[in-house]
Amino acid sequence: MRRKLALVSVAAVVATTGLVVVANQAFAAAGCTAKYTIVNQWPGGFQAQVDVTNLGDAITSWNVGWDFGNSSQTITQIWNADKTQSGLHVSATSLSYNGNVATGGALSFGFNGAWSGSNPAGANLTLNGTACTGGTTTGGPSSSSPSPSTSTNPGAPTVALTSPTNGSSFTAPATVGLAASATAPGSSVSKVDFYNGTTLLGTDTTSPYTFSWTNVAAGNYSLTAKVTSAAGATTTSAAVSISVTTTGGGGTHVDNPYVGAKVYVNPDWSAKAAAESGGSRISNQPTGVWLDSIAAITAPSGSGYTTSLRKHLDNALAQGATLAQFVIYDLPGRDCAALASNGELGPTDIGRYKTEYIDPIAAIEADSKYASIRIVNIIEIDSLPNLVTNADGQAGATAACATMKQNGNYVTGIQYALGKLHAAGTNNYEYIDAAHHGWIGWDSNFTPSAQLFASTAKGAVGGVNTVDGFITNTANYSALSEPWVQPSTTVNGQSVRQSKWVDWNQYTDELTFAQAFRTALVGQGFNSNIGMLIDTSRNGWGGSARPTAASTSTDVNTYVDQSRIDRRIHAGNWCNQSGAGLGERPRATPATGIDAYVWIKPPGESDGSSSLIPTGPNNPGGKGFDRMCDPTYTGNGRNGNSLSGALPNAPVSGAWFSAQFQQLMQNAYPAL
Ligand code: BGC
């Protein structure tokens, strides 16, 4: 009965959109499953998420419809979609950057809403007019005529692809066994066709319906089975995604690449560290290699770079290293909420990002010569969090971030990077940057960030399987643990959350934040074995100013300021922080859910210059000047209008800053 209604609605949509259907011409297959989740609800308000899987043909734009249960329910703010609401009915439509959804692909968006009385979940979800009830239907003879006589339709056949299972991976050249179960109520099954995307792989006419797909090359594939009944009706199964990867000798893709690994020491950084008095105590530590421009890939002479990506990997082989860490950092319109690390690519340069930046990196990382090295890519610092908190409506919003949200090139670029780099080999590991607790720890930022990360990854070729984990605190200064300032701590009956420092944040330190955010990400659909990295390069806060006991003050602000490990003026400060020290030394599996503590920001490399340095010998890359790096600056909306806390006399971002390096060693915690 329900199936029949679906057939009618497919025909009705085609009729009203004016498509002319020629007899015998097949309809595009349409179908979907949908989930409406109330993520959070409070008196008068709620936050919801809609996830839709496209079971039909690939689409280039979408319109997701549903009905609210009562007239009090309205959308107040939506992300990753536009909306129109008429009475109880809502339509959410794709934006410029997220309209393409492959067969088997998913789309999702979220919104904040208002309600009173009751807040039932949205019902009657549709995708481009087709009810999201499960399988896929092309109609068959009865519905391919303009006035369908659906009452004589013997009922749509059913089909499910039972093998391989969704998300499974194979090693190239692979043999993939496909199997399907199929029924044809009121008729009989005449055949089952097996497809890769729209390419027919093979057909079986007798049960059990199977096909052996041999010699499959590396890549990500979306497989379906299509049943045709003797009456001529067809149904296509839900799609199954698989990935086939080359090992190139790279071997098994492990859960936590840091376990048992010898991590590459960047000789360029190591030499600068060793040249500092006392620097040899840490100069053999592994640090991240920042690929912060196209020139960083090949390091041509005169570019200011000394070591190309290939040379780094060759160096790693020579060191006997089995893991190397690279920072992928060149998005169009990079660093939209600040000025010290603005990139070389303009907001619309997505084509150059793909072909001149990601493609060459992926090609080098795919070289089987480097298969013995686990290649960890840290994906695009600050970018997705900037879309959540700095694009519109908030205290820190900038026009540049609004532009990048609007044109979608952060999302598109990261999707491209994930798909390409993941496919570079089983020895490749992707970790997306997830800001830090003092940025997305608040409830209002926490869930939307996890949702945006998930919708972004789901849109990558290979989906969430491209993501091995996330990194927090990259190049930041947030303390790992705050023993005396926990969200549950109270002072004289008052929660520390109401102190000026904590400012109602749900988290006060990086470790608890990273662990909780990992759980939230798994809840949004990331694999349950993802792991977190925490950049502990500069979050030690040791030395004489480090508190050794909880304050005895009964004033909540005094208590927090005297007890906290993080000695910054404001948790929003990020540039060359005065008083900071080296944090935990890099090591694997330091805590539950944490793959490793890492030093991604190389200690001693500046975050930005204290004053404007014109392009020239001291600023060959033309780096910008951000006043958050000026010790006299009194702040903005993103740091509570506080002093910047930056060290004076700093060089441009990435340049060696000896005074900072000395301070970091001085205040190391654990001490050197
Ligand atoms: C700079 C990069 C530099 C990196 C590591 C970033 O802030 O923008 O150019 O490579 O820090 O020091």
End-to-end CA distance of the chain: 73
Q: Whose CA is nearest to atom 4 of ligand 1?
A: 654
- The radius of gyration computed from the CA coordinates of the chain, to the nearest angstrom, equals 27
Angle between helices 443-458 and 510-523 (to 10 degrees): 50
The residue type of 436 is: H
Compute the mean pLDDT over every residue in the chain, rounded to the nearest whole number: 89
Greater confidence, 116 or 139?
116
Task: Tell me, yes or no, whether 315 and 440 share the same domain.
Answer: yes
Task: Tell me, yes or no, whether 517 and 445 share the same domain.
Answer: yes
- The residues carrying an active-site annotation are 335
- 331 C-alpha to ligand 1 centroid (Å): 14
Q: Quick check: is 404 in a domain?
A: yes
Locus of tokens 């340049």: 655
Select from 359, 355, 417 the least CA-distant residue to 383: 417
Spatial contact of 563 and 625, defined as CB atoms under 8 Å apart: no
Locus of tokens 């490990």: 565
Residue 521, both tokens: 């990400």
CA 219 from centroid of its chain's CA atoms: 20
Q: What's the pLDDT band for 250 if we cut at 50, 70, 90?
A: low
Q: What's the pLDDT band for 427 if we cut at 50, 70, 90?
A: very high
Measured between alpha carbons, how far is 472 from 381 in angstroms, rounded to an integer?
A: 9
- The DSSP bridge partners found for residue 656 are 605
Position in ligand 1 atom list of the atom nearest CA 607 = 7
Note the pLDDT tens digit of each residue in 482-498. Answer: 999 999 999 999 999 99
Say if ligand 1 is within 6 A of residue 343 CB.
no
Half-sphere exposure of residue 336: CA atoms within 13 angstroms, side-chain side: 31
Task: Tell me, yes or no, whether 642 and 507 share the same domain.
Answer: yes
Measured between alpha carbons, how far is 193 from 542 in angstroms, rounded to an integer?
A: 66
Phi, psi of 563 (to 5 degrees): -100, -20
The 8-class DSSP code of residue 14 comes to H
Number of domains in the chain: 3
Which parts of 434-566 are beta strand (E)? 469-472, 490-491, 494-495, 531-535
Residue 40, both tokens: 């959070």
- 288 C-alpha to ligand 1 centroid (Å): 10
**What does each C-alpha distance from 560 to 483, 543, 563 come to in angstroms?**
11, 19, 5
Q: Which of residues 111, 141, 171 is at a domain's end?
A: 141
H or E element, residue 557: helix 556-563
Longest C-alpha distance within the chain, in Å? 88
Q: Quick check: is 20 in a domain?
A: no
Residue 623 has pLDDT above 90, yes or no: yes
Note the pLDDT tens digit of each residue in 260-304. Answer: 999 999 999 999 999 999 999 999 999 999 999 999 999 999 888
- 477 C-alpha to ligand 1 centroid (Å): 15
Q: Across residues 121-143, what is the average pLDDT? A: 72
Measured between alpha carbons, how far is 430 from 435 in angstroms, rounded to an integer?
A: 16
Q: Whose CA is nearest to atom 8 of ligand 1?
A: 341
Residue 23 has pLDDT above 80, yes or no: no
**What does each C-alpha distance from 142 to 1, 147, 156, 247, 310 come to in angstroms?**
15, 9, 11, 49, 60
Select from 389, 598, 560, 382 the least CA-distant residue to 480: 598
Q: Which of residues 245, 279, 295 is at a domain's end?
A: 245
Measured between alpha carbons, how far is 629 from 606 in angstroms, rounded to an integer?
A: 10
Task: Tell me, yes or no, whether 168 and 60 share the same domain.
Answer: no
Strand, helix or coil at 613?
coil
Task: Tell me, yes or no, whether 444 and 577 share the same domain.
Answer: yes
Greater confidence, 173 or 469?
469
Task: Tell me, yes or no, whether 655 and 608 share the same domain.
Answer: yes
Position in ligand 1 atom list of the atom nearest CA 341 = 8
Mutate to test the pocket of ligand 1, among 269, 335, 339, 341 (most ligand atoms within 8 A of CB): 341
Say if ligand 1 is within 6 A of residue 653 CB.
yes
What CATH number corresponds to the domain at position 74?
Answer: 2.60.40.290
Position in ligand 1 atom list of the atom nearest CA 602 = 12
Residue 10 has pLDDT above 60, yes or no: no
The residue type of 636 is: N
Domain encompassing residue 445: 267-666
Residue 475, both tokens: 């190049």
Q: Quick check: is 76 in a domain?
A: yes
Measured between alpha carbons, how far is 507 from 487 in angstroms, rounded to an integer?
A: 6
Spatial contact of 221 and 239, defined as CB atoms under 8 Å apart: no
Spatial contact of 94 and 62, defined as CB atoms under 8 Å apart: yes
What CATH number corresponds to the domain at position 195?
Answer: 2.60.40.10
Task: Tell me, yes or no, whether 88 and 188 share the same domain.
Answer: no
Q: What's the pLDDT band for 185 if we cut at 50, 70, 90?
A: confident
- Neighbour tally for 257: CB within 10 Å: 26
Q: What's the pLDDT band for 135 if we cut at 50, 70, 90?
A: low
DSSP line for 236-259: EPPPEEEEEE--TT-----S-TTT
Q: Which of 148-162, 240-254, 313-327, 377-391 has the lowest mean pLDDT?
A: 148-162
- 621 C-alpha to ligand 1 centroid (Å): 11
Select from 333, 407, 399, 323 the least CA-distant residue to 365: 323
- Which value, to the nearest 10 degrees, does the dihedral of the CA atoms of residues 532, 538, 542, 545 take? -120
Note the pLDDT tens digit of each residue in 74-117. Answer: 998 888 889 998 889 999 999 888 899 988 889 998 888 888 88
Measured between alpha carbons, how far is 356 from 354 in angstroms, rounded to an integer?
A: 6
Position in ligand 1 atom list of the atom nearest CA 335 = 8
The residue type of 385 is: P
The 8-class DSSP code of residue 569 comes to S
Phi, psi of 325 (to 5 degrees): -115, 120
Measured between alpha carbons, how far is 233 from 183 in angstroms, rounded to an integer?
A: 11
Say if ligand 1 is within 6 A of residue 341 CB.
yes
- 475 C-alpha to ligand 1 centroid (Å): 9
Measured between alpha carbons, how far is 483 from 491 in angstroms, rounded to an integer?
A: 14
Measured between alpha carbons, how far is 350 from 594 in angstroms, rounded to an integer?
A: 33
Task: Tell me, yes or no, whether 499 and 599 share the same domain.
Answer: yes
- Neighbour tally for 360: CB within 10 Å: 15
What is the pTM assigned to this prediction?
0.69
Q: Quick check: is 258 in a domain?
A: no
Residue 656 has pLDDT above 90, yes or no: yes
Q: Quick check: is 437 in a domain?
A: yes
What CATH number corresponds to the domain at position 601?
Answer: 3.20.20.40
Half-sphere exposure of residue 67: CA atoms within 13 angstroms, side-chain side: 7
Spatial contact of 522 and 530, defined as CB atoms under 8 Å apart: yes
Q: Which of residues 108, 141, 174 is at a domain's end?
A: 141
Task: Tell me, yes or no, whether 122 and 185 share the same domain.
Answer: no
Measured between alpha carbons, how far is 619 from 610 in angstroms, rounded to an integer?
A: 13
Task: Tell me, yes or no, whether 363 and 508 share the same domain.
Answer: yes
Residue 437 has pLDDT above 60, yes or no: yes
**What does each C-alpha distance from 84 to 128, 132, 216, 374 come to in angstroms?**
14, 19, 45, 47
Say if ligand 1 is within 6 A of residue 349 CB.
no
Angle between helices 409-422 and 399-407 (to 10 degrees): 60
Q: Quick check: is 149 in a domain?
A: no
Spatial contact of 191 and 233, defined as CB atoms under 8 Å apart: no
Phi, psi of 310 (to 5 degrees): -60, -40
Q: What is the pLDDT of residue 138?
A: 58
Q: Quick check: is 252 in a domain?
A: no
Strand, helix or coil at 563?
helix
DSSP line for 122-153: PEEEEETTEE--SSEE---GGGSSSS--GGG-
Q: What's the pLDDT band for 55 if we cut at 50, 70, 90?
A: confident
Spatial contact of 391 and 384, defined as CB atoms under 8 Å apart: no
Q: How buried is residue 246: exposed, middle or buried, by Cβ count under 10 Å (0-12/13-18/19+)?
A: buried
Say if ligand 1 is within 6 A of residue 476 CB.
no
Strand, helix or coil at 464?
helix
Q: Whose CA is nearest to atom 11 of ligand 1?
A: 654
Residue 6 has pLDDT above 50, yes or no: no
Task: Tell me, yes or no, whether 271 and 345 share the same domain.
Answer: yes
Greater confidence, 539 or 56?
539
pLDDT above 90: percentage of residues in the chain:
71
Task: Tell me, yes or no, whether 164 and 136 share the same domain.
Answer: no
Q: Quick check: is 422 in a domain?
A: yes
Mutate to test the pocket of ligand 1, among 290, 378, 538, 576 (most ligand atoms within 8 A of CB): 290
Residue 470, both tokens: 């996330």
Please give the angle made by the CA atoms of 286, 622 and 631, to the nearest 5 degrees: 75
